Amino acid sequence: MKNVEKADRLHLGSLIGNLNNGQYVIPDFQRDFEWEPWDVKDLLSSIFMDYYIGTLLLWKGNTDNFKTLSCEPIYAYSGKKDPRHIVLDGQQRLTAIHYAFFGPDKPFPKRSKPCIFLLDIRALLEEDYENFIQYQFVTKKYRDFLDSKEQQFHSHIFPLSEMKGGSWGTSDWIKEYRDYWQNKAERCDDENLKKTYLHFVSGAQIFRNIIEELLNQFYVSYIELDQHIDIAKVCDIFTQINSKGVRLDIFDLLNAILRPKDIFLKKMWQDAESKLEYIENKKMKIYILQVMSILEQAYCSSKYLYYLVPESTKTVRKSDGSTEQIVLIEDENEFRERWNQSVKALVNAINALKNPRDYGAVKEGFLPYPSIIPAFAAIKEFVAHTKPANIIDVNRKIRKWYWSSIFMNKYSSSVESTTAKDFMDLKKWFIDDELVPDVIEDFDNNFNNLDLINENPKGSAIYNAIFNLLVIKEARDWSTFELPEYSELDDHHIVPYSRFKEFAGKSINSILNRTPISDFTNRHIISNRLPNDYLKEMFENNDEEKVYQALSSHLISKKAVEILLRDPFTKEDYEEFLMERKRTIIFEIQNHLINEVIEIPLHLKVLDAKIEEIELSLRKSIIVNLGSDFEVYKNLVSQTIKEKIDFRVLQTLKKRPDETYDDYNSFDKRIQFFDMSEYFETIASKLNWPSFAATFKNKTELDERFRKLGTLRNAIRHSREISPLEKTDGEASILWFNTVLKK
């Protein structure tokens, strides 16, 4: 093309310098900066992961051009202007980079506060690429955080606004971060803790290398138009760019890429589609690819799906900071195997969701979130493949995660990143009970605040989830008092719409006034009558207890029945009924769906009770021998244990808003959070052993007894199969502890 001066590139460090000098300006005909914070986050992730971020189209400017097009600086730029280029394509990207790397004290567009972008160093070094970039709106708390490097160093959070200083400014921050942890290591007496601090020191060097490589080796391509091109032609070029692009679906792009490898993706989807008919969702073909990607590499956003192409190389960073090239899918046969595995995983996941005794989404219309299916299918497939010994406990954790995610609306946005994080978090939680995913804690803290009257209308995730709960609770038919045909179920009003809509308003359609009833029951039992009429008739014609049981299966308590039978039935009665049914539903959500309890055999219950008695005796022995004061705890318990206990106390406080941290400032309170290994470590420490030597005699035997008792205890509490040897060893340890502690 004539008048294209050059196609070139510049590295990120130079781009930051140009932004700092105000070299890029925006013509008046360009739209405003319209990205959301999460769009900026995605761009930053792409830069750090060395992805291509598109080519900038720049027009080399002059005084006349700047004036004619009424050019303005990039949003939030406040420095001295030195315009060099008019941005024709790339405004959103350049503005996002400027806002993130310069941290201007100006509200993010369409927001009332500035937004800061932060990098979690540990997440970056652990290759948690979905979560290493964060953003926060600037409150007083975060202004204090930005002013305190010590807070930043302690939390391993690097404000990306430090990047505006280029290589030198960033290096200064990283040097101070390294020195912070080096000084802590030099002052630390605890060898385990010291090792952790030195690990952070070595991580600082790797982080520095990453930043240096980013600034000097990440290139942004651009095309520069000559300054003498006619303005009309420039405007036409801009119009072409913004009106004629047709965005292809990721499935279509992969289909085109895979065809030369004799993989016909559309044909494979046509073969699989009939197996996945439960959901008429255009995204289902993408879900297959996402499940493949999650199982292969934990991530499932579009940029990761390209690595599923056979022989495609992926660059991964190793723990020492170096990189290597890996191939996820070797050839066409492996691709087809993974595709079939993913289809099977989705079929199994859908069957579980449809099961009326399992998840209760008996129809597609009652499924809370189709977008949760890839995560659900992938984690179920992972468990089926790895066959963990504690399978009952693992399945219970999956259910807790699923329902907590639904009731916290976790899958309403940012689905791909949420899916990846949940998949990794669940795998960790399966192994370590203390690594509880955030969403479950969010649910524990907030489920009582669910608005089931004014929000969550029919078709919403929470509405459908409660409907699922009613199916799981075996909601009985009101005419036969038997389980209904689920294909005939629909949700109908308890207090009829036509009779009470003028009094009830919006709440008439709330889930609190609806329940799964067949059309026949709705026509012939309710029949547009108030509850004090049709319920009275049900009680007169049937066994009273059976009627109460049927209504209870719909989470209508006896108290709620008493309210519904009132004559006259007033607006106040209706509102009281809604509150009573909400209380019943909330109770069932927490206790049936979230705090699901698995019954263990009686003989194991007996052993569990005996272990519980030993734990209580050990606590008493430690407190009697060492004392209950908080100073004793601080001086005689290792730093590693104290950090773990601190974490457990804070987790408990989240669930107990009526308590404070100070309520746990005594040894006898803190010891309630110890596990078996921590009892042993405290008793057997060099400082404390003289106080216990007369009781336990030999450290080696004590260690052995603790380990065997702990093995039995964990197997019982996690519903894991117990071998005869584990049971015998555990019982012998119970006898040993009882004998020693009684002496």
Could you read off the pLDDT of 107-120 as tens digits, one per residue?
999 899 999 999 99
What is the rounded CA–CA span in Å between residue 722 and residue 730?
10
Q: What percent of the chain has pLDDT over 70?
A: 93
* pLDDT in the model for residue 675: 87
pLDDT at 375: 96
What pLDDT shows up at residue 651? 74
Cis peptide upstream of residue 568 (ω within 30 degrees of 0): yes
Identity (one letter) of the amino acid at 638?
A: S
Contact between 27 and 67 (Cβ < 8 Å): no
Q: Give tens-digit pLDDT for 322-362.
A: 888 899 999 999 999 999 999 999 999 999 999 988 899 98
What's the CA gap between 346 and 323, in Å, rounded?
Answer: 34
Cβ neighbours for 482, distance < 8 A, ≥ 6 positions apart: 476
Indicate the DSSP class of residue 527: T
- Can you tell me the distance from the alpha carbon of 279 to that of 287, in angstroms, rounded to the nearest whole number? 11
Tokens of 94: 């350049």
- Rounded mean pLDDT of 212-226? 89
Alpha-helical (H) ranges within 78-221 are 91-102, 121-125, 140-147, 149-155, 166-187, 191-217
Q: Could you state, in order of their start, the residue ranges of all structural domains in the chain? A: 4-221, 250-358+367-408, 461-594, 602-742
The pLDDT assigned to 596 comes to 58
**DSSP, residue by residue, 598-665:** ----HHHHHHHHHHHHHHHHHHHHHHHHH-S-HHHHHHHS-HHHHHHHHHHHHHHHHH-TT--GGGG-
What pLDDT was estimated at residue 245? 44
> What is the tens place of the pLDDT at every residue in 700-733?
999 999 999 988 887 776 656 678 888 898 899 9
Give me the pLDDT at residue 484, please. 80
In angstroms, rounded to a whole number, what is the distance separating the alpha carbons of residues 535 and 550?
11
Q: What is the pLDDT of residues 54-81, one digit of tens each?
A: 889 899 888 888 887 778 999 999 888 8
Percent pLDDT > 90 in the chain is: 50
Residue 223 has pLDDT above 90, yes or no: no
Render pLDDT for 365-416 as a digit per residue (tens, 0 to 9): 889 989 999 999 999 999 999 999 888 889 989 999 999 999 998 998 778 8
> pLDDT tens digits, residue range 653-700?
766 666 788 888 999 899 999 988 899 999 999 999 999 999 999 999
Phi, psi (deg, nearest 5) at residue 159: -70, 125
Q: Which residue has the higher pLDDT, 553 or 454?
A: 553
Instruction: Give the pLDDT band of residue 593 (cuts 50, 70, 90).
Output: confident
